[in-house]
């Protein structure tokens, strides 16, 4: 699904956080949104998710104007949001159960996705028995098991140590590409932006839109 942001303005009271922002994300693309703290990155993600009131402009996903949340658009956060009393597998199953997927189907999906994110054998572990990186893998499995068309990631790896973070970046690019998911990934880490993005948009500086090839050329020069 493509995402098109047209003349988006968001205000919190009298404070204008985003003003007249235009942005296009093509189907299957990984767009990274970078920029300093407070420039409105999370606000942009929440707007695409359908969680904030838009003051002007609109967001169009696959030809339909966003008017609220949808299963097709999933958010992934720094906080893994796992329920501490449910095993990894039962955390992955939960959203499927809530939408009425029968038990055998959701068990198979949980097993498959946990395997895909490198957690085969950890299905019955509780979140407290897993490391921070592993819990983020469970969150990723839980998100992808729902087969969203658009994934909105808000600094999901900010709390991880450098090696775990690098592993997660590699994994996330692999699985998102395989699934053909359109992704908007927010970070304030330039290395992460370069590593993940097909394209990087820098907010808050009079938007700059840089293609991956240009970034790599600049980094390698
Ligand atoms: N619910 C809210 N009510 C009022 N102001 C808000 C609200 N949410 C965010 N803001 C303000 O809007 C601005 C943009 O916030 P936002 O979280 O989108 O920025 P960000 O670029 O994601 O920042 P960070 O990198 O620190 O997470 C900030 O000044 C913030 O204080």
pLDDT digits (tens, 9 = 90+) for 179-216: 899 999 999 888 888 888 889 998 875 555 555 555 55
pLDDT of res. 210: 58
Whole-number pLDDT of residue 207? 52
* Count: domains in the chain: 1
196 CA from centroid of ligand 1 (Å): 23
Question: Please, are residues 35 and 214 in contact by the beta-carbon 8 Å criterion?
Answer: no
Please, are residues 139 and 122 in contact by the beta-carbon 8 Å criterion?
no
Domain-embedded: residue 191:
no
Q: Counting atoms of ligand 1 from 1, which one is nearest the CA of 45? A: 18
Position 107 in a domain? yes
Q: Is residue 141 part of a domain?
A: yes
pLDDT value of position 159: 85
What tokens were used for 183? Answer: 């992704």
By alpha-carbon position, which residue is closest to atom 4 of ligand 1?
Answer: 12
pLDDT-derived band at 140 (thresholds 50, 70, 90) equals: very high
Phi/psi for 209 (5° steps) reads -125, 115
**Better-scored residue on pLDDT, 167 or 114:** 114
More confident residue, 50 or 204: 50
Residue closest via CA to ligand 1's atom 1 equals 12
Distance (angstroms) between ligand 1 centre and the Cα of 112 equals 36
Domain-embedded: residue 131: yes
Strand partners, 178: none
What is the arithmetic mean of pLDDT over 114-129? 95
* pLDDT tens-digit series, residues 51-94: 999 999 999 999 999 999 998 999 998 888 999 999 999 999 99
Ligand 1 neighbourhood includes 38 CB (under 6 angstroms): yes
Question: Is 154 a domain residue?
Answer: no
What ipTM does this complex have? 0.92
Find the mean pLDDT for residues 94-123.
Answer: 95
Ligand 1: atom nearest CA of 203 is 21
pLDDT value for 202: 86
Whether residue 13 lies inside any domain: the answer is: no
| Domain contains 170 | no
The sheet carrying 208-211 orders its strands as 73-77, 150-154, 182-186, 30-34, 199-202, 208-211
Q: What letters, b where the CB count within 10 A reaches 16 and e where it falls short, cover 50-62?
A: eebebeebebebe
3-state helix, strand, coil in the chain (%, to 5): 40, 25, 35
pLDDT of residue 191: 85
The token duo for 207 is 């938007």
Domain holding 123, by residue range, is 80-147
Task: Give me ligand 1 centre to Cα 175, in Å.
Answer: 29
SS3 state at 98: helix
Q: Residues near 15 by Cβ (< 8 Å), separated by ≥ 6?
A: none
């Amino acid at each position: 699904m493509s995402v098109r942001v047209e003349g988006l303005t968001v205000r919190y009271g009298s404070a204008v956080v985003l003003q007249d922002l235009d942005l296009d994300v093509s189907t299957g693309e990984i767009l990274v949104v970078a920029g300093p703290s407070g420039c409105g990155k999370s606000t942009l993600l929440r707007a695409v998710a359908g969680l904030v009131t838009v003051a002007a402009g609109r967001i169009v996903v696959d030809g339909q104007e966003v008017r609220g949340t949808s299963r097709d658009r999933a958010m992934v956060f720094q906080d893994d949001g796992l329920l501490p009393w449910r095993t990894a597998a039962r955390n992955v199953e939960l959203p499927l159960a809530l939408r009425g997927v029968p038990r055998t189907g959701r068990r198979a999906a949980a097993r498959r996705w946990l395997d895909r994110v490198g957690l085969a054998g950890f299905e019955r572990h509780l979140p407290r028995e897993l490391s921070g990186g592993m819990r983020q893998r469970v969150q990723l499995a839980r998100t992808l098991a729902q087969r969203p068309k658009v994934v909105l990631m808000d600094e999901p790896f900010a709390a991880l140590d450098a090696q775990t973070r690098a592993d997660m970046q590699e994994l996330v690019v692999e699985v998102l590409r395989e699934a053909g998911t359109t992704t908007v990934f927010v970070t304030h880490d330039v290395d992460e932006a370069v590593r993940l993005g097909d394209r990087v948009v820098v907010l808050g500086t009079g938007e700059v839109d840089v293609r991956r090839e240009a970034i790599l050329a600049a980094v390698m020069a």
